[in-house]
Amino acid sequence: MKIEKVTLREIRMRLKAPFETSFGVIEERRILLVEVIADGVRGWGEITAMQSPSYNSETTDTAWHIVSDFIAPTMTGRDLSGAAEVPGLLSGIRGHYMAKAGVENALWDIEAQQNGIPLWKLLGGTREEIACGVSLGIRENAESLVKKVEQELRCGYQRIKLKIKPGKDLDFVAAVRDQFPHILLSVDANSAYSLEDAEHLGKLDRFELLMIEQPLGWDDIYSHARLQAQIRTALCLDECINNPRDAETAISLRACKIINIKLGRVGGHTGARRVHDICLDRGVPVWCGGMLESGIGRAHNIAMSTLPGFTLPGDVSASSRYWSEDIIEPEVDVSPHGTICASAGPGLGYAVKRELVDRLSVRSRNWTDSVKVSV
């Protein structure tokens, strides 16, 4: 796999509706797309960092810097045996998993195309249809949330996740649970609470939630272990799990009973598969998290979700929930029973709408084998 060209683009995409989490309201995504050409084959990856460092420490701009000044110059012109070599090659760059993932995943797309098989098969996927849930932002009042839940259930989604924060938690969950006593229901706090809130969080036990996702510090596995010992509901870690060692630590400390795997957060498909393998081995169910991705990131998420350990519905939902027009063809559709079928085409299995990407681009930069940097 000789890397001939790397192109980095920033596109802006406005969400159909604002998405509120405990760390703020997201109305527009500033997404970085990575296009790599190796042996004449083109592959795509997406960098899922938010524009502010409020989910984790990366941002769209830190990722632009790290890819531009370190990753792309390291990769361009190199001859690799496969995409799985990338983490080793980039190990001298500390952290910045989301930036690395965008580049590595483009190479996975290429490798699958070179083998003439779908990416999900190359990764070792075992199911052709994945189970889907939705993540619902914080809303003004419980009534409008209940209406939204009803609408998503009508679309077929198999699990509903509610974003919560202090002051917008118990009443909202109670209203939804009252209306829908039997659905798979979970909550995600994005690190909005502290261990002193243990008693308060324990009040969620009565709602028979599937899980409480990342209630405590974004980098604090230990406190989650203390909390899990005090409440019945399963904790799920998102922000805390950045690599296989974090997964080992969290499972050994009993800090969680479920893990959310996000491709960007763990540095790409190689890291994701390692985290998945550890969880499968230790009997910890995993599911695929989302970062309000464009179709390219979404297609990578679908491929990953076909691995055997992904036994819970993920935050992978239809393109049309997020965008008036997605950048891939066909768009991602969800069946009436809340599933997505993995594409049978080679690589990602979706075509990138290049003219649309061009129209949405606000900056781009490329690196080629002969001329390492050109603006």
CB-count burial class (<10 Å; 0-12, 13-18, 19+) for 28:
exposed
The one catalytic residue in 100, 161, 168, 262 is: 262
The one of Mg ion, ligand OSB, none whose footprint includes residue 157, by CB under 5 to 8 A per kind, is none
Count the neighbouring beta carbons within 10 Å of the beta carbon of residue 16. Answer: 10
Q: How far is the CB of 24 from ligand OSB (least distance, A)?
A: 10
The one catalytic residue in 100, 148, 163, 168 is: 163
Where would I find the beta strands (DSSP E) of the chain?
A: 3-21, 24-38, 41-47, 129-131, 133-136, 159-163, 184-188, 211-213, 235-237, 258-261, 286-288, 328-329, 339-341, 351-352, 361-368
Catalytic site residue 121? no
Q: How far is the CB of 325 from ligand OSB (least distance, A)?
A: 17
The one of Mg ion, ligand OSB, none whose footprint includes residue 20, by CB under 5 to 8 A per kind, is none
Question: What does the block give as tokens for 317?
Answer: 């939902």
Q: How far is the CB of 169 from ligand OSB (least distance, A)?
A: 15
Phi/psi of residue 314, each to 5°?
-95, 175
Q: How far is the CB of 311 from ligand OSB (least distance, A)?
A: 18
98 contacts 265 by C-beta, under 8 angstroms = yes
Q: Which residues bind ligand OSB (CB under 6 A)?
A: 55, 135, 188, 190, 238, 289-292, 315, 317
9 contacts 33 by C-beta, under 8 angstroms = yes
Nearer to ligand OSB, 152 or 238 (CB): 238
The one of ligand OSB, Mg ion, none whose footprint includes residue 135, by CB under 5 to 8 A per kind, is ligand OSB
List, in order, residues 6 or more apart from 91 with CB less than 8 Å away.
none
- Give the binding range for Mg ion (CB under 5 A) out of 35-43, 75-83, 181-189, 297-305: 181-189
- Look up residue 68 and give its amino acid: S
- Give the binding range for Mg ion (CB under 5 A) out of 7-15, 161-169, 232-240, 273-281: 232-240
Q: Classify 329 as helix, strand or coil.
A: strand
Give the Cα separation of 300 and 121 in Å (integer). 12
Give the Cα separation of 171 and 143 in Å (integer). 10
Question: What does the block give as tokens for 210?
Answer: 């599937």
Q: How far is the CB of 107 from ligand OSB (least distance, A)?
A: 23
The one of ligand OSB, Mg ion, none whose footprint includes residue 290, by CB under 5 to 8 A per kind, is ligand OSB
Nearer to ligand OSB, 98 or 291 (CB): 291
- Give the binding range for Mg ion (CB under 5 A) out of 71-79, 159-167, 193-201, 234-242: 234-242
Q: How far is the CB of 48 from ligand OSB (least distance, A)?
A: 8
The one of ligand OSB, Mg ion, none whose footprint includes residue 319, by CB under 5 to 8 A per kind, is none
Q: Which is it for strands 129-131 and 133-136: parallel, antiparallel or unpaired?
A: unpaired
Nearer to Mg ion, 67 or 304 (CB): 304
Q: How far is the CB of 99 from ligand OSB (least distance, A)?
A: 16
The verdict on 293 binding Mg ion (CB under 5 A) reads no
Half-sphere exposure of 329 (CA within 13 A, CB side): 7
Catalytic site residue 147? no
Task: Using CB positions, name the residue nearest to ligand OSB.
Answer: 290
The one of ligand OSB, Mg ion, none whose footprint includes residue 102, by CB under 5 to 8 A per kind, is none
The one of ligand OSB, Mg ion, none whose footprint includes residue 58, by CB under 5 to 8 A per kind, is none
Q: Which is it for strands 235-237 and 258-261: parallel, antiparallel or unpaired?
A: parallel
57 contacts 241 by C-beta, under 8 angstroms = no
Closest CA to 282 of 307, 247, 313, 315: 247
| Residues from 192 through 231 that contact Mg ion (CB under 5 A) | 213
The residue from 104, 238, 246, 326 that contacts Mg ion (CB under 5 A) is 238
The verdict on 188 binding Mg ion (CB under 5 A) reads yes
Which amino acids are annotated catalytic?
Answer: 163, 262
Contact positions toward Mg ion, by CB under 5 A?
188, 213, 238
